[in-house]
């Protein structure tokens, strides 16, 4: 083999290695296009090697020609394979733009009833009330018996109850938490107990089988009905941020309060003229209330000669209806995202 042929074969091997190492490090199609033209183009490195055919004798030309053709085919195949791999990955590193804003996950928010509940808690805790909790599956004793509603008492008919097996019910109001609190705490007691309640009520614009109440209880020496009226009036003005909000008390009956009352807030929709939401009365019933009946103190060992107290149980949906000007309670429970995302 002539010295020229040896040199040219060595150059062929070097060009092949150089091209292959460039292919390995190439990161995009533009770089590959450049490698292709640098090595296989008309003025590329492989073409330049073909020009060296003249350096070798006629007997060595077929050998060199075969080596050059093999180099050309090898590089062509390797460049094409590498190009195809980039075409299969349109999201190659160079097309990833880290400066683009991220796709945000869908964010939830607090349900409007929970927002009202939080606000109610905040207002009452600022007035010195503690927040208490009780179970939604309640015993007959706490839901009725200890609230002075014995089994034979006709007032049990006032609440359409979901009875569970045994002596349990889905609590029909938050008043059982009064008993649970007084059982474990001595006066003075100032507490609220917001939570879910259940009744077999037929749904309409202001009634839902699942709804929320916030119980309130204040027991101390010398607590009077005037204290109840003052606290409720202050609450109404704070929750609606409106000093003109009116509250009215009507006589009523609850076995666990004496005297008993219901209080209403003035209807925000019709300004008292009467509409579908307030059933043409100009008022929306918000809560039952009254002075704690001495018989209830008997169940928790409080001395009614020393202590007196008031209690109330407000419907939170009724407050949300007024606050957010929603004219039907049922929409709070439909979980329509178009409604919920407005809060
Ligand atoms: C009671 O539940 C008494 N436990 C309230 C009470 C507490 C009285 C402490 C005295 C002392 P009543 O059944 O009226 O009372 O319900 C109270 C409030 O809950 C109502 O004024 C109303 O705002 C709300 N409410 C009652 N039933 C429903 C319902 N089905 N859907 C929505 N809100 C309701």
Is 207 near ligand 1, meaning CB less than 6 Å away? yes
Predicted TM-score (pTM) of the model is 0.71
Is 312 near ligand 1, meaning CB less than 6 Å away? yes
Query: What is the structure's pLDDT at 91?
Result: 56
Query: What is the structure's pLDDT at 205?
Result: 87
pLDDT range class, residue 54, cuts 50, 70, 90? confident
Query: What is the structure's pLDDT at 267?
Result: 82
Long-range pairs for 54-57: beta carbons < 8 A, 24 or more residues apart: 55/4, 55/5, 55/8, 56/2, 56/4, 56/5, 56/8, 57/2
How far, CA to CA in Å, does 290 sit from each of 14, 232, 296?
100, 12, 12
Tell how strand 308-315 and strand 283-292 pair up: antiparallel
Query: What is the structure's pLDDT at 106?
Result: 81
How far, CA to CA in Å, does 129 sit from each of 42, 132, 192, 217, 303?
90, 9, 6, 9, 22
pLDDT range class, residue 158, cuts 50, 70, 90? low
pLDDT range class, residue 89, cuts 50, 70, 90? low
pLDDT for 90 beyond 60: no
Question: Ligand 1: which residue has its CA nearest to atom 30?
Answer: 207
Query: What is the structure's pLDDT at 22?
Result: 94
Is 266 near ligand 1, meaning CB less than 6 Å away? no
Query: What is the structure's pLDDT at 278?
Result: 82
Query: What is the structure's pLDDT at 250?
Result: 96
Question: Ligand 1: which residue has its CA nearest to atom 28?
Answer: 207
What's the residue count for the chain? 343
How far, CA to CA in Å, does 266 sit from each of 46, 324, 332?
93, 14, 21
Query: What is the structure's pLDDT at 274?
Result: 86
Instruction: From 283, 315, 331, give the residue whose CB has the most ligand 1 atoms within 8 Å, as the site to mutate.
Output: 315
Ligand 1, atom nearest to 318 Cα: 23
Between the CA of 305 and the centroid of ligand 1 the distance, in Å, is 28
Between the CA of 300 and the centroid of ligand 1 the distance, in Å, is 23
Between the CA of 206 and the centroid of ligand 1 the distance, in Å, is 11
Query: What is the structure's pLDDT at 92?
Result: 54
Query: What is the structure's pLDDT at 272?
Result: 78
Is 161 near ligand 1, meaning CB less than 6 Å away? no
Query: What is the structure's pLDDT at 271?
Result: 74
pLDDT digits (tens, 9 = 90+) for 241-297: 888 788 999 999 999 999 999 999 988 778 778 887 788 998 988 999 999 999 999
pLDDT for 155 beyond 90: no
pLDDT range class, residue 215, cuts 50, 70, 90? very high
Is 264 near ligand 1, meaning CB less than 6 Å away? no
pLDDT range class, residue 93, cuts 50, 70, 90? low
| Mean pLDDT of the region 97-101 | 84
Query: What is the structure's pLDDT at 279?
Result: 83
pLDDT for 142 beyond 80: yes
Mean pLDDT of the chain: 91
Is 317 near ligand 1, meaning CB less than 6 Å away? yes
pLDDT for 232 beyond 90: yes
Between the CA of 67 and the centroid of ligand 1 the distance, in Å, is 97
8-state DSSP, 332: G
**Any idea which residue has 């609850």 for tokens?**
254
Query: What is the structure's pLDDT at 257?
Result: 98
Instruction: From 157, 198, 213, give the residue whose CB has the most ligand 1 atoms within 8 Å, as the site to mutate.
Output: 213
Is 194 near ligand 1, meaning CB less than 6 Å away? no
pLDDT digits (tens, 9 = 90+) for 114-133: 999 999 999 999 999 999 99
| Six token digits for residue 317 | 């949906």
| Mean pLDDT of the region 80-91 | 77
Q: Which domains does the chain have, with CATH numbers?
A: 3-89 (1.20.58), 112-340 (3.30.930.10)
Query: What is the structure's pLDDT at 264?
Result: 93
Between the CA of 173 and the centroid of ligand 1 the distance, in Å, is 7
C-alpha triplet 323, 326, 330: angle, nearest 5°: 125
């Amino acid at each position: 083999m002539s010295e020229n042929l040896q040199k040219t074969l060595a150059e062929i091997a070097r060009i092949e290695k150089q091209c292959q190492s460039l292919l390995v490090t190439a990161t995009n199609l533009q770089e590959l296009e450049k490698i292709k033209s640098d090595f296989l183009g008309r003025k590329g490195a492989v073409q330049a090697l073909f020009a060296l055919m003249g350096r070798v004798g006629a007997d060595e030309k077929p050998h060199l020609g075969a080596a050059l053709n093999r180099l050309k085919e090898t590089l062509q195949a390797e460049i094409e394979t590498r190009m195809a791999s980039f075409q299969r990955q349109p999201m190659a590193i160079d097309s990833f733009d880290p400066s683009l804003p991220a796709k945000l996950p869908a964010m939830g928010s607090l349900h409007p009833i929970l927002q009202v509940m939080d606000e109610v808690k905040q207002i009452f805790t600022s007035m010195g009330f503690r927040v208490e909790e009780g179970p939604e599956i309640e015993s007959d004793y706490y839901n009725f018996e200890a609230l002075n509603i014995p089994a034979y008492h006709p007032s049990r008919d006032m609440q359409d109850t979901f009875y569970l097996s045994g002596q349990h019910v889905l609590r029909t109001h938050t008043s059982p938490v009064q008993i649970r609190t007084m059982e474990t705490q001595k006066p003075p007691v100032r507490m609220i107990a917001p939570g879910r309640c259940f009744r077999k009520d037929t749904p309409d614009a202001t009634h839902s089988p699942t709804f929320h109440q916030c119980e309130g209880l204040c027991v101390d020496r010398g607590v009077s009905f005037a204290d109840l009226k003052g606290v409720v009036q202050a609450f109404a003005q704070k929750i609606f941020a409106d000093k003109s909000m009116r509250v009215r008390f009507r006589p009523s009956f609850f076995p666990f309060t004496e005297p008993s009352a219901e209080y209403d807030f003035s209807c925000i929709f019709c300004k008292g003229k009467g509409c579908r939401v307030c059933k043409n009365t100009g008022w929306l019933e918000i809560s039952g209330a009254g002075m704690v009946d001495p018989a209830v103190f008997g169940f928790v060992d409080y001395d009614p000669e020393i202590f007196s107290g008031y209690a109330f149980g407000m419907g939170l949906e009724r407050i949300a209806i007024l606050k957010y000007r929603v004219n039907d309670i049922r929409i709070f429970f439909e979980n329509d995202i178009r409604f919920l995302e407005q809060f």
